[in-house]
């Protein structure tokens, strides 16, 4: 460490330490490489704190003006990429304070009055999480908007619905995609709920017990857009459950994105052939010139593991910590920053891939036209004739086995052939197993009948519009 760096550290830490920190510890404990993401929030918090110090008379107004101007200039330099971060100064807070001291001299020493790095970083992180949650909501709204546009195009596109990755029953593609709309709406709701719990300012909590100085915590809370100060100083500096909640919401959203991405990977394969992913969201092979690989959805699917891992990381960090602040809490930031960035990127590329996707409607309908997908309808035809469902299920199971053994088309069985298995069959398979009829008879709320899907699209659009109006 240079003499200047050692002098700066001594000024920041006070007179307790007589020996410079070992260089290996400097590298081990430094966080400025990643906590630069908190720079704008650190500056906002410091400006609010400085103005409060002036309002309460703890710092003279002239010094406050100099401090605020110095902080604003540092902020402009950071935004413009002109600020030289010093790894030897460990974190964003020390970098800002050290630079402020160099630029404005003694008044900089008054900025930390009544403040600890513990409540400082907790405030910065709370401000960051509010913006990160809002950004996630916005990204989810954009994706859902694209989904609704594509779903409106495909109300009459029919494909097999699957269970166990086996063809199960026919559904409308719009109905299928609206399932993801519901998932992503709940994801947005989780981030919105989180923002409601990020409404209290930690600033003024000090290291853990508050301050003997006449700080005005209500003033700083208002300046930073909070509803009020936090209710317990120890909780303020020790708790990271809102960070956990953000990571949990991000992990769940990424899992939903991963499921959607996995279907794009499957559907774009030759075996399915349901969709073609645009060239802009695909890559080729370094060896095989014919290949077109779904790399974008594959990466989304893979990156879900990062979000899940980030949640587990912070849960593990927190589980054994006594109150209040422990340096372990430095490990909260990289998982948070990574999940926020990963989720934002995945939302953006997923929206782009979906918007440019080509749907092969004829291939989907061909796959959905297999009469075996309507075997349940045969059983329910018997139920309407007062046959107990378990009996009807067994009868149709025997019919399916008969067709498979004898290479017969279930949809081609005559009324007489069906009555050979049960006398209650009211008609032949050609009438009972019509694809459009099967779709339209599923008209319960949440079903795949055309009118229900149209209603669901309209209601989904209304909900999305209401969310956007609330955020405007």
Instruction: Report the alpha-carbon distance of residue 308 to residue 247 in Å, rounded.
Output: 8
pLDDT of residue 2: 44
Within 268-388, where are the H helices? 295-318, 333-355, 361-368, 375-383
- Is 166 exposed, middle or buried, given 0-12, 13-18 or 19+ CB atoms closer than 10 A? exposed
Nearest to 119 by CA among 217, 204, 232: 204
Q: What is the pLDDT of residue 227?
A: 98
Do the domain assignments include residue 158? yes
- Confidence (pLDDT) at 14: 60
291 shares its domain with 193: yes
- Whether 462 is covered by a domain: the verdict is no
Q: Which of 31, 116, 154, 285 is catalytic?
A: 285
| Structural domain contains residue 447 | no
Give the residue ranges of the chain where pLDDT is below 70.
1-15, 17, 26
Number of structural domains, the chain?
3
| pTM check: above 0.75 | yes
pLDDT of residue 11: 44
Based on the fold, state whether residues 131 and 171 are members of the same structural domain. Answer: yes
Helices (H), 199-294: 217-223, 233-238, 241-267
Catalytic residue among 46, 49, 116, 164: 164
- Residue 310 and residue 307: Cα distance in Å, rounded? 5
Phi (first) and psi of residue 222, to 5 degrees: -65, -40
Task: Give phi and psi for 116, each to the nearest 5.
Answer: -115, 160
Domain-located, residue 453: no
What proportion of the chain, given as a percentage, has pLDDT over 70? Answer: 96
pLDDT at 370: 92
Whether 353 and 389 map to the same domain: the answer is: no
The answer on 427 and 411 residing in a single domain is yes
Query: Does residue 166 share a domain with residue 150?
Result: yes
Q: Provide the pLDDT for residue 258.
A: 98
Q: Same structural domain for residues 95 and 9?
A: yes
Residues 267 and 124 in one domain: yes
- 164 catalytic residue (yes or no): yes
* CB-based contact 46:59 (threshold 8 Å): no
Cα(55)–Cα(35) distance, integer angstroms: 30
Regarding whether 186 and 314 lie in a shared domain, the answer is yes
Kindly report the CATH number assigned to the domain that includes residue 406.
Answer: 1.10.40.30
My answer on whether 43 and 135 are in the same domain is: no
Q: What is the DSSP letter of 322?
A: P
- Domain CATH number, residue 101: 1.10.275.10
Report the C-alpha gap between 123 and 108 in whole angstroms. Answer: 20
- pLDDT of the residue at 13: 54
- Which residues are CB-neighbours of 116 under 8 A, at least 6 positions away? 205, 206, 207, 208, 237
Tell whether 168 and 257 lie within a shared domain: yes
Q: What are phi and psi of 452, to 5 degrees?
A: -65, -40
User: Do 133 and 229 sit in the same domain of this protein?
Assistant: yes
Helix (H) or strand (E) holding 241: helix 241-267
Give the pLDDT score at 137: 98
C-alpha–C-alpha distance, residues 156 and 159, integer Å: 10
Last residue of a domain, one of 59, 87, 113: 113
Q: What is the pLDDT of residue 377?
A: 93
Enumerate the β-bridge partners of residue 39. none
What's residue 3's pLDDT? Answer: 43
Question: Of the candidates 81, 113, 145, which is a domain's last residue?
Answer: 113
Query: What is the pLDDT, as a whole number, of residue 289?
Result: 84
Residue 359 pairs in a beta bridge with 275
In a domain, 280, yes or no: yes
pLDDT for 15 equals 66
- Supply the DSSP symbol for 20: P
Within-domain flag for 467? no
Q: What is the pLDDT of residues 260-276, one digit of tens each?
A: 999 999 999 999 999 99
Domain that holds residue 410: 370-441
Same domain, 239 and 300: yes
CB contact at 8 A, 217 and 201: yes
In contact, 331 and 312? CB cutoff 8 Å: no
Residue 169: strand, helix, or coil: strand
Where residue 226 sits, what CATH number does that domain have?
1.20.200.10
256 is known as an active-site residue: no
Among 305, 336, 367, where does a domain finish? 367
Answer whether residue 459 is part of any domain: no
Answer whether residue 72 is part of any domain: yes
Angstrom distance (rounded) from CA 90 to CA 80: 22
């Amino acid at each position: 460490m240079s003499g200047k760096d050692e002098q700066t550290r001594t000024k920041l830490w006070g007179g307790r330490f007589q020996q410079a920190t070992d260089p290996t510890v400097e590298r081990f404990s430094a966080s400025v490489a990643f906590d630069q993401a908190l720079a704008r929030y650190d500056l906002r918090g410091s400006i609010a704190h400085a103005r409060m110090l002036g309002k309460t008379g703890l710092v003279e107004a002239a010094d406050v003006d100099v401090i605020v101007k110095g902080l604003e200039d540092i902020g402009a330099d950071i935004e413009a990429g002109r600020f030289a971060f010093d790894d030897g100064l460990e974190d964003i807070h020390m970098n800002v304070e050290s630079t402020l001291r160099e630029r404005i001299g003694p008044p900089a020493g008054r900025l930390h009055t009544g403040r600890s790095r513990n409540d400082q970083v907790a405030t910065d992180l709370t401000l960051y999480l509010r913006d990160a949650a809002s950004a996630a909501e916005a990204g989810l709204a954009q994706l859902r908007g694209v989904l609704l546009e594509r779903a409106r195009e495909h109300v009459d596109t029919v494909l097999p619905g699957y269970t166990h990755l086996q063809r199960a029953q026919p559904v409308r593609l719009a109905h299928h995609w609206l399932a993801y709309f519901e998932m992503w709406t709940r994801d947005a709701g989780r981030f919105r709920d989180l923002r409601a719990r990020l409404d209290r300012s930690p600033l003024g909590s000090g290291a853990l017990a508050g301050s003997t100085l006449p700080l005005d915590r209500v003033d700083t809370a208002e300046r930073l857009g909070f509803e009020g100060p936090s209710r317990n100083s120890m909780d303020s500096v020790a708790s990271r459950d809102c960070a956990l909640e953000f990571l949990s919401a991000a992990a769940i959203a990424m899992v939903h994105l991963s499921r959607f991405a996995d279907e794009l990977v499957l559907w774009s394969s030759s075996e399915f052939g349901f969709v073609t992913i645009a060239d802009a969201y695909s890559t080729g092979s370094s060896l095989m010139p014919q290949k077109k690989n779904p790399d974008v959805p594959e990466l989304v699917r893979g990156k879900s593991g990062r979000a899940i891992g980030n949640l587990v990381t912070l849960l593990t960090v927190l589980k054994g910590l006594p109150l209040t602040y422990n340096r372990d809490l430095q490990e909260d930031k990289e998982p948070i920053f990574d999940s926020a960035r990963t989720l934002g990127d995945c939302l953006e590329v997923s929206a782009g891939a979906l918007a440019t996707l080509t749907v092969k409607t004829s291939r989907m309908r061909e796959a959905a036209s297999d009469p075996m997908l309507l075997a349940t309808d045969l059983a329910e035809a018997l139920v309407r004739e007062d046959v107990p469902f378990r009996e009807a299920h067994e009868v149709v199971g025997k019919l399916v086995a008969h067709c498979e053994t004898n290479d017969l088309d279930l949809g081609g069985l005559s009324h007489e052939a069906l009555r050979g298995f049960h006398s209650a069959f009211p008609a032949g398979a050609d009438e009972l197993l019509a694809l459009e009829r099967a779709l339209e008879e599923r008209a319960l709320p949440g079903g795949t009948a055309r009118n229900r899907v149209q209603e669901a699209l309209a209601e989904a659009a209304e909900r999305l519009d209401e969310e956007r109006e609330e955020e405007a």
